[in-house]
Amino acid sequence: MKMLKHIIIALTLVIMSSCSDWLDVNENPNALTEVPSGELLLKGTLLANTQIHKGHLLRSSMYYTGGLIGLQLVQNTIYIYNFTPGDANSNWTHLYNGILVQNNKIKEISPDLDALEGIIDINAAMALGTATTIWGDIPYTEAIPDNPGLTVKPAYDNQVDVYSDVQDLLDKGITTLQNAATSLSGDGKDADIFYGGDLALWIEAAHTLKARNYLLTKDYAAALTEVVNGISDPANTMAYRPIGSVSGNSNVIFNLVESSRAGDMTANGTFFQDLLDPANANGRNHAKTDETARRNFMYISGDGGSADGIDAADAVMPLVSYEENLLIWAECLVRTGDNLGAIAKLNELRAHLRSGNAFNVVNGGDTFLYDDFVLADFQAAGIENVDAIAEDRAILREIIEERYVSGYTSYMPFNDMRRLKKSDADVIVPFPLNTATATANVERLLYPRSEIDTNPNVPSPLPDIFTVTTVNQ
């Protein structure tokens, strides 16, 4: 038995001494567990943000604003108001994992962030602002904790507070960029697929974003103070600019219609197309406006094969645009009593449209015309006021309609409809409901299934798509 004891002791010693190293093979041999630079994460956060603004939820919002028709399968289900929580899963993940977690990691990896920090803050603020616009209350202050796990359940912040936090984040981003001692590295500039590391452009976009959020919370005076520093030139528009011909780097709508989902949806026969149709008596074409070319550019057949136009593989997808800045400006001016100023801003936009640089002419013979407006056009019996409403309302109506058109393939039409329904019902774009039985417009999109199933803090009772968010009540 002595022998036994010796052997056991010997074996134990062997195990104690040798094995911990030998067993140390669990480090992932296939994937990185660390990245050398935070800049390597930047591009992913920008692509994630692109998906939030140009993906499934955006298209869903277009079904609810006369922009698209869902013909079959999931696209039809959403179109007839059966939007399901599962439809929101991906974009929700793009926000929290795709952007916020990555930003935290960037800050952890690169302590001396400088310009990079300003960029990622602005990018996060853009996504958060959209998220709270879509969903209302969302987790923010307790989101992405340092100790994630099965038992941690982030609380939901009030929509008003989220907007306020987003504005603070934008201010922080602007300040950081203004004070940045250095810009991005060469690789970092390549990774910044929106602005190529041009900090001044990020600052402009941040101001337009601030203006957008003030507009959404109906603080028009505050919005006016931001637009003056907002995007100042068409070339400064922040956009996802596809670089190639494979689906992974193409226009997001193109990707859908070129996939097996071809034919599931279309813009054919939409209110939007009718509004721009010169043949339509209720359209927006008149002596000073010919939307033929823009209408054909902004047409999504849904069947695929689009070589040019808004759904072409290489079609640029604006995220924060020169047009948006001008139109916020115009709206805020008219709301603060400066009708002529508002018209001037509208005309700046029309000059841009007139320049031929605002969109591609899809068919060679397509015509377009955007003559300047004058005040008389908005006075009773003017071409923009044939029904003789108040002058400022007529101007506002045209601004909102122009936002509806310029904002096609963005959340602008969906946001305006919800923002204006209560306060400015007289000037909203009168797109119809999608089913005979529907009685109300969609006021939000649903919380994702993935969050409902896992986070007991999700608002209760669960709001449906017709439940108005706080800022629109």
Partner 1 sequence: MKKYLLLSAVFVFGLIFNESRAQNRAITGKVTSATDGSTMPGVNVVLKGTTNGTITDVDGKYTLSVPSEDGSLVFSFVGMTTEEIAIGSRSVIDVVLSEDAEQLEEVVISALGFKEKRDNMSSTYSKIDADKVLQRGENKVIDGIGGKMSGVRISGTTGDPGGGANIQIRGQSTISGETQPLIIVDGVPLNNDYIRGGASGADSDAGVSQQSRLNDINPDDIASFQVFKGASAGALYGSRGINGVIVITTKRGQAGKAKVTYSSGLTVDKISRRHALQSNFGQGNNGGTWSRDAQRSWGDKIADRTGGADDVDDTGEYFVSDTGGEILYPIIGKNSKETYLDSNFDQVFRTAISWDHKLSLSGGNENTNYYFSVGRADQQGIIRNADYEKTNLTVALTQKLTDRLKMDVKSNFITSSSNRMQTGSNTAGVYLGLLRTSPDFDITHYIGDHVSGGGVVTPGRQRSYRRSRANSDNAIYNNPNWTLNEQINTAEVSRFIGSAEFTYSINDNIKLISRSGADYYTDSRIYFFPYYTAGADRRYGLLEDEVINNKEYNTDLLANFNYDITSDISNSTTIGYGLNSRFRKRNLITADNFIANFRDPLDPSEISAQQNVSSSVGRTNRRYTRLYGTTNFDFKEMILLTLGGSFENHSSLADPFFYPSVELGWIFNKSFSLPEWLSFGKARFTYGQVGNAPGAHAEQTVYEVGSFSSFSDGISLADWGGGYQLNENLGNANLKPEVKTEIEYGLDLRFFQNRFKISATRYTNEIADALLQIGLAPSLGYDGIYANGATIENKGFELETGYQIIDNDTWKASVFANYSKNKNMVTDIPGGSVINFAPGSSVQSVAIEGYPMGVFYTQSFLNDENGKHVLDANGFPQVDVSGNQVVGDPNPDWRGGLGFNAGYKGFNFNILFETSQGNDYSERTKFILQFFGTHESVGNEITLTEDLVNYKGDVFTSGTVVRGNVHDWGAGNVLLDEQYYEALQGFGDGKLNGATVVDGSWTRIREASITYTLKKGLPKTIDNIEIGVSGRNLAIWSDIKGNDPDINQFGVGLGQGIDYFSNPGTRSYTFSIKATF
Residues 154-183 that bind partner 1 (CB under 8 A): 154
CB of 67 to partner 1, least distance (A): 16
Look-up of token digits 């993906």:
55
Q: Which is nearer to partner 1, 7 or 388 (CB)?
A: 7
The one segment of 146-154, 295-303, 336-344, 395-403 that binds partner 1 by CB under 8 A: 146-154
At residue 111's C-alpha, the angle toward residues 106 and 113, to 5°, is 70
**Residue numbers 119-138 binding partner 1 by CB under 8 A:** 138
Q: Are 428 and 420 in contact (CB under 8 A)?
A: yes
Q: Which segment (12-20, 201-209, 218-226, 407-415) binds partner 1 by CB under 8 A? A: 12-20
At which residue do the structure tokens 């195990």 appear? 15
Sorted by sequence, the CB contacts under 8 Å of residue 220 that are 6+ apart come out as 214, 331, 332, 335, 336
Quote the CA–CA distance of 298 and 306 in Å, as a whole number. 11
Residue 238 interacts with partner 1 (CB under 8 A): yes or no: no
Backbone φ/ψ region at 186: left (φ over 0), alpha (ψ -120 to 50), beta: alpha
Task: Find out whether the peptide bond into 154 is cis, omega within 30 degrees of 0.
Answer: no
Closest CB to partner 1 among residues 264, 290: 264
Q: Give the one residue of 71, 107, 114, 143 binding partner 1; rule: CB under 8 A.
A: 143
96 binds partner 1 (CB under 8 A): yes
Query: What is the total count of residues that contact partner 1 (CB under 8 A)?
Result: 87
- Beta pairing class for 289-290 and 369-370: antiparallel
Answer left, alpha or beta for residue 160, where phi above 0 means left and psi between -120 and 50 means alpha.
alpha
For position 4 contacting partner 1 by CB under 8 A, the verdict is: yes
Q: How many other C-beta atoms are found inside a 10 Å radius of the C-beta of residue 6?
A: 10
24 binds partner 1 (CB under 8 A): yes
Residue 152 near partner 1 by CB under 8 A: yes
Q: Quick check: 35 binds partner 1 (CB under 8 A)?
A: yes
Q: How far apart are CA 433 and CA 183, in angstroms?
A: 49
**Token pair recorded at residue 298:** 């902004």
CB of 77 to partner 1, least distance (A): 10
Q: Is 47 a binder of partner 1 (CB under 8 A)?
A: yes
The distance of closest approach from Cβ of residue 3 to partner 1 in the complex, given in angstroms and rounded to an integer, is 6
235 lines the binding site for partner 1 (CB under 8 A): no
Q: Which residues contact 433 (CB under 8 A, 6 or more apart)?
A: 439, 440, 441
Q: Which residues of 84-93 are buried (b: 16+ CB within 10 A; e: fewer)?
A: ebebbbbbbb
Amino acid at 72: Q
Q: Among 61, 176, 250, 472, which residue sits at the site for partner 1 (rule: CB under 8 A)? A: 250
Compose the 253-292 pattern: x for residues touching partner 1 by CB under 8 A, - for all others: x-xx--xxx-------------------------------
78 SS3 class = helix
Rule CB under 8 A: is residue 252 a binding residue for partner 1?
Answer: yes
If the CB atoms of residues 149 and 365 are measured against partner 1, the closer one turns out to be: 149
Kindly state the smallest distance separating residue 302's Cβ from partner 1, in Å.
12
Footprint on residues 322-381 left by partner 1 (CB under 8 A): none
Residue 54 Cβ, how far from partner 1 at the closest point, in Å? 8
101 binds partner 1 (CB under 8 A): yes
With CB under 8 A as the contact rule, the residue among 145, 196, 305, 430 that binds partner 1 is 145
Judged by beta carbon, residue 34 or residue 112, the one nearer partner 1 is 34
Report the C-alpha gap between 107 and 35 in whole angstroms.
Answer: 12
> Which of 232, 249, 467, 470: binder of partner 1 (CB under 8 A)?
249
Tell me: does residue 21 bind partner 1 (CB under 8 A).
Answer: no
Stretch that binds partner 1, among 147-155, 279-287, 364-372, 373-381 (CB under 8 A): 147-155
CA–chain centroid gap for 420, Å, is 19
Site for partner 1 in 184-213 (CB under 8 A): 190-191, 193
User: Which lies closer to partner 1 via its Cβ, residue 255 or residue 347?
Assistant: 255
Q: Which residue has the tokens 């929101």?
A: 88
**For partner 1, the closer CB: 40 or 383:** 40
For residue 363, what are the CA distances in angstroms to 119, 245, 258, 295, 296? 38, 22, 21, 11, 8
Token look-up 């407006």 returns 373
Residue 356 CB contacts under 8 Å (≥ 6 apart), including other chains:
368
40 vs 433, beta carbon nearer partner 1: 40
For partner 1, give the closer residue by CB, 49 or 237.
49
Among 76, 105, 468, 470, binds partner 1 (CB under 8 A): 105
